[in-house]
Amino acid sequence: MTGKIRVLIVDDSASVRQTMASILSEDPAIEVIGTAADPFSAARRIQEQVPDVITLDVEMPRMDGITFLRKLMAQCPVPVVMCSSLTENGSDTLLQAMEAGAVDVILKPRFGVADHLAEHHLQIRDVVKAAARARLRGRPAARSFHSEPPPKKLTADVMLPPPDNKPMSRTTEMVVCLGASTGGTEALREVLEALPANSPGIVIVQHMPEHFTRAFAQRLDGLCQVDVREAVDGDAVLRGQVLIAPGGKHTMLERQGARYQVSVRDGPLVSRHRPSVDVLFRSAARAAGSNAVGILMTGMGDDGARGLLEMRQAGARTFAQDEATSVVFGMPKEAIARGAAERVIPLGNIASELLAATVR
């Protein structure tokens, strides 16, 4: 995309429409081409000009956002970012939105919405930019666009020191670490559904807001042979179990003798994320070394690229998802460029490659 990202904002709240328009318009790479108070008004705007990205509220009059999303994906696929109140019940609704084709989500509180959105302006812009690059069915991935330089990002150094890369004895158990962002919810579902019940222990960082990860884990648990749960500090990493890093917390791998457990901690944003894939991968390089497998999947930015390289340097097997099957080929591309990925593999092969790499 050589021009600006054209965005249509759909929300029944006038204050939210105004705040979102102000936040997005301040970025030179983004142009707000219009706002709409309900899906019917949005449909008329789309007939006049098809946007590159739509931000879509869930609860609206005349037609709810999920119904509109399904109709839109069937008739005119456009990258959609859902914008909804942060509630436990809303988490299930937003997961339905991801299944229906939404590429990401922006969460807003019940009260103080304008202030909350303004406080998270960088994240909102990043989400919209990632959506603009998303690869949808029947729609090619967008090219790069001009933008202002991003603010300086913190690295995993703020959470734990780099690995010393000393040779580590092999244990009888392997541990797998997965990282994903935009497009990752459905990609991870495909991978985990293909795994048998006795799969090696897995720890996952998927960029998600707080509370959303619990509903995501519960949904996957009902679909997969492996047990899937949101990680709790001190949880053991066990065969046949998948731990999802909770939103708003960093999750790290620790070694206790020949066993592994997770540490869930507060901390600053790393690579502009919390949880951060870089933090998980670095901890795996330190704690597991050659007993680990690292896989970096679809997502925008570079979170996880540095950590995957550290895992490879520590003797771990490392893989990156290929461009053709990535919704956004940002994180894997950066890892490949750094020489962090031992191999580049399509989404459909990740489960089998993961299992093969953990066989002793």
Contact partners, residue 40, CB within 8 Å, separation at least 6: 62, 63
Angstrom distance (rounded) from CA 357 to CA 345: 13
Return the pLDDT at 307.
Answer: 97
Question: Please, which residues bridge with residue 56 across strands?
Answer: 10, 82
- pLDDT beyond 70 at 273: yes
Residues in CB range of 346: below 8 A, 6 or more apart: 321, 322, 324, 325
Catalytic residue among 11, 52, 302, 303: 303
Q: Domain 158-357 sits in which CATH superfamily?
A: Methylesterase CheB, C-terminal domain (3.40.50.180)
181 is catalytic: yes
Residue with more model confidence, 151 or 31: 31
CATH of domain 5-132: 3.40.50.2300
Q: How far apart are CA 196 and CA 117, in angstroms?
A: 41
Q: Reply yes or no: is the peptide bond before residue 275 cis, omega within 30 of 0.
A: yes
Q: Is 91 a catalytic residue?
A: no
Q: Does the pLDDT value for residue 90 go beyond 50?
A: yes
User: How confident is the model over 8-19, as a mean pLDDT?
Assistant: 92
Q: What pLDDT, on the 0 to 100 scale, is given for residue 116?
A: 74
Cβ-based neighbours of 272, under 8 Å, separated by 6 or more: 122, 123, 126, 150, 153, 301, 303
- The pLDDT score that the predictor gives to residue 110 is 67
Compute the C-alpha angle 58/91/138, nearest 5°. Answer: 60
- When pLDDT is cut at 50, 70 and 90, the band that residue 197 belongs to is very high
Per DSSP (E only), the strands in 298-351 are 317-321, 343-345
pLDDT at 89: 53
Q: What is the mean pLDDT of residues 88-107?
A: 77
Q: Is the pLDDT of residue 53 over 60?
A: yes
pTM: 0.83
Q: Output the pLDDT for position 142.
A: 47
Residue 163's pLDDT band (cuts 50, 70, 90): confident
Residue 159's pLDDT band, with cuts at 50, 70 and 90, is low
Contacts of 207 (CB under 8 A, 6+ apart): 180, 181, 182, 184, 273, 275, 277, 299, 303
Residue 91's pLDDT band, with cuts at 50, 70 and 90, is: low
**Active-site entry in 181, 199, 271, 326:** 181
Burial class (CB in 10 A: 0-12, 13-18, 19+), 291: buried
Report which DSSP code applies to 348. G
Residue 61's pLDDT is 80
Distance of CA 336 to the CA centre of its chain: 18
Radius of gyration for the alpha carbons in the chain, expressed in angstroms and rounded: 20
Please state, for a pLDDT cut of 90, what percent of the chain lies above it: 64
pLDDT for 1 equals 47
- Whole-number pLDDT of residue 141: 46
Q: Give every strand in the sheet of 80-85, ordered side by side.
A: 30-36, 5-10, 53-57, 80-85, 104-108
Percentages (nearest 5) of helix, strand, coil residues in the chain: 35, 25, 40
Band (156; pLDDT cuts 50, 70, 90) = confident
Is 60 exceeded by the pLDDT of residue 87?
no
Cα 22 to chain centroid, rounded: 25
Q: Which of 51-65, 77-91, 173-187, 306-320 has the lowest mean pLDDT?
A: 77-91
How does pLDDT run across 100-147, given as a tens digit for each residue? Answer: 889 888 877 666 777 778 777 888 898 999 899 888 754 444 444 444
Distance CA 341, CA 222 (A): 31
- Closest alpha carbon to 304 in 201, 194, 217, 182: 182
Residue 40's pLDDT is what?
Answer: 93
Domain extents for the chain?
5-132, 158-357
The reply to whether 5-132 and 158-357 are identical in fold is yes
DSSP class per residue in 42-56 = HHHHHHH---SEEEE
Residue 303 annotated among the catalytic residues of the structure:
yes
Average pLDDT, the chain: 88
User: In the structure encoding, which two tokens stand for residue 65, read together?
Assistant: 């956002």
Give the pLDDT confidence of 213-267 residue by residue, as tens digits. Answer: 998 999 999 999 999 999 999 999 999 999 999 999 999 999 988 889 999 999 9
Cβ neighbours of residue 112 under 8 Å, at least 6 residues apart?
A: none
Q: What is the pLDDT of residue 314?
A: 96
Q: Which of 52, 57, 207, 263 is catalytic?
A: 207
pLDDT for the residue numbered 209: 79
Question: What distance in Å separates the CA atoms of residue 38 and residue 173, rounded to the nearest whole number?
Answer: 53
